[in-house]
Amino acid sequence: MGNPLLTVKNLSAWYDRGKMVLDGFSLELAAHEVVGLIGLNGAGKTTFLKILSGLLPSFRAENILFRGQPVNLRKRDFKTSRYTVFAEDDSFPYFTFREYLSYVCSAYEKDIPDVSELVHGFHFENDADTLLKDLSTGNRKKAFLITAFALQPVLLFLDEPVNGLDFQSTEYLYQQIARYKEHGTVLFSSHVLESITLTSDRVFVLENGSIRQTFERGQIDAANIREALRYEHDI
Amino acid sequence: MNMIFKAFAKKLFGVKCEKLKRTVFLCLVVFWGLYIADWKIKIAPSVLYLMASAFTGGVMWQALTSKDNAASMKNLFMLPFDRRKFVFSYVAALGAYTFFTKTVMLLAVVWAVAAWNPVEILASILCATNAVLMAAVMYVFRKYWYVGVPWAAIAIIVILFSGNMPWFVPFCVANAVLAFLLLQNADAYSFYPQESGLGHAGKKHVRHSVWRYFFRYMKCHKNYLANTAIMWCVGLVLPLFFRQVWGSFAAFIGFAILSLNTPVCILLSCEPALEQAVRFLPCQKKAFCIPYCLFIFSCNMIANAIYLCSTQLLNGGVTPATVAAALFFALQSAVCSVLLEWFYPIRDWKIESDLWHHPRKYAVPAGLLLLAGAVGTWPALVPVLMGLLATEVIILLVGCWNSD
């Protein structure tokens, strides 16, 4: 792994007092890599992504470094370096996709990019001018994914990006994730093994709020990961 | 108790009925507080019955139109169920929620400040029950609104003009029985909220506009739009009530009353996903909060402007200081509302009705009412407050540009 882009050391998080969701969680992300998070329900994947998105205040960590410097996850510098696509998102229901893209670009202080290729790739042409609230779950997910790939942040967090997508869009998504290394780093969680094995450079298997096993490039294999998850389940 | 009722009751009251316990406790506190204060007013029985009916019917209607029960309903519809049992269990759960968490609070206040007797208590409970059943019937058969509206109008007229008549109670009982019989034929699926929307946004826009977003929001929430229109109408007629007492005190109280357009002030509380997005995206204090603040300010200021124009036409006496005070109240209401939404959004509400009657929603108008009282008594405070407001706005603007 090259120089770490993001370092998280000994992260603990909780929702209710005493109920730890993440416990001593440590992870390093290098620039220009794709990292997959996999684990059973409740392992802490979404919580981790929510913390990195600045949405969960109840956590403590020994260190969170971005490009080697301590970072406040709620400050503009870090916020403009990352974008998250959440597993379920009903935000800005009265914007169309194009308006949402324009709104997000202005928040990130970027010009509106040309998204025609992404819109075509995700088969989204007919829905680009429909209010987000009137889109189906899958199409709404596409709107946020297109925004994410168009925005090209240094860090892209995707929480279960495959859920709700049709198979053509899923395959297109895999291509986009794999190609994203040119622009930045992708950290994504998924329950679909295929999405992890086809795109990731590294895979973390989460168990009870900490990383139980790491698979490096060359070791990433569906059978190995399945075995790790089964072991976790049997325990 | 059947399972359908239990399922909805648990959702509405909490697993251990914690919401019910909290409301009963609050009612007791309010009742004893007002009772001990020995502040008495006279309320005619017909007004009491009308209040109980209209308030309960309105809250029940809100609960029925709320989309928050849709998920539970979808799960229940997936299973085989008895149609009639479902209808009565659902109406009973929503009716119990309406009565025990909302109407009881109103009755506690009324009974604490007015003389009452057991007959009036029973009659007002009967009116509330009647309103619950009528609201349910009118919701289920809403496509026959041309029958429902006159039916409701007749009920209101009867309550208002014959609350003291001996045949009033039999009338209410008969009305409730009629509603009950109509519910027997109700289709359970008609309680499931229908999807509705604008579809394509009309004109295609490549650039965003937060104002357009707010207008669409209002267009899709007709009750919020109606509330705004009502506040503007109140602005029009308010000077009639202040004709005898017009002065700076009345003007300030009027501005405070016109800041009661609370539904537009809970946008983030209403939509948790929007709140999440606004917290997660960068520069949102500038991109979202300031336009939101200006939007609320515009709604309030239009009401205040109507109020001032109406006052000038009816009473005269509007001065530049009054106009400045109107700006002050409209802006202060907007700033405080947005700050509350940002720092203390209302969370953990069960259904939208909880949100609409949450005390936090009325914190800003209540504060402004107190302020109006203070400023009306000591007009010398106006320049001080204007200075404070200017400072507040500068701090907010600087904070928005530099943080986040």
Q: For A88, name the nearest residue in chain B, comparing CA atoms only.
A: B273
- Rounded to the nearest angstrom, the minimum Cα separation between B94 and chain A is 26
Q: Which residues of chain B have a CB within 8 Å of the CB of A93? A: 271, 273-274
Q: For B197, name the nearest residue in chain A, comparing CA atoms only.
A: A134
* Run of H or E including B141: none
Task: Pick from B194, B203, B216, B280 the residue to mutate for testing the A interface (most A CBs within 10 Å).
Answer: B280
Are B50 and B57 contacting, i.e. CB atoms less than 8 angstroms apart?
no
| Rounded to 5°, angle at Cα B337 from B211 and A100 | 30
ipTM value: 0.86
How far apart CA B208 and CA B206 sit, in angstroms, is 7
**Which pTM does this prediction carry?**
0.80
Over its C-alpha atoms, chain A yields an Rg (Å, rounded) of 17
- Rounded to the nearest angstrom, the minimum Cα separation between B196 and chain A is 8
Alpha carbon B290 to its chain's center: 24
* Partner residue opposite A54 with nearest CB, options B204, B212, B279: B279
* Partner residue opposite A131 with nearest CB, options B197, B280, B404: B197
* Partner residue opposite B281 with nearest CB, options A90, A96, A104: A104
* A93 at B interface, C-beta within 8 A: yes
**pLDDT single digits (tens) B333-356:** 999 999 999 999 988 777 777 787
Subunit contact A79:B282, Cβ cutoff 8 A:
yes
How far apart CA A229 and CA B275 sit, in angstroms, is 35
CATH number of A4-234: 3.40.50.300
* Partner residue opposite A134 with nearest CB, options B197, B273, B278: B197
Q: Which residues of chain B have a CB within 8 Å of the CB of A102? A: 206-208
Q: Smallest Cα–Cα separation from B248: which of B366, B385, B363?
A: B385
pLDDT per residue, tens digit, chain A (235 aa), is 567 899 999 999 988 766 788 988 899 999 999 999 999 888 899 999 999 999 988 899 999 999 999 999 989 899 999 999 999 999 999 999 999 999 999 999 999 999 999 999 999 999 999 999 999 999 999 999 999 999 999 999 999 999 999 999 999 999 999 999 999 999 999 999 899 999 999 999 998 888 888 998 888 888 888 887 775 555 4
SS3 state of residue A189: strand
Query: Where do we find the tokens 């120089």?
Result: A3
| Rounded to 5°, angle at Cα B292 from A141 and A58 | 60
Q: Smallest Cα–Cα separation from B314: which of B254, B368, B260, B259?
A: B254
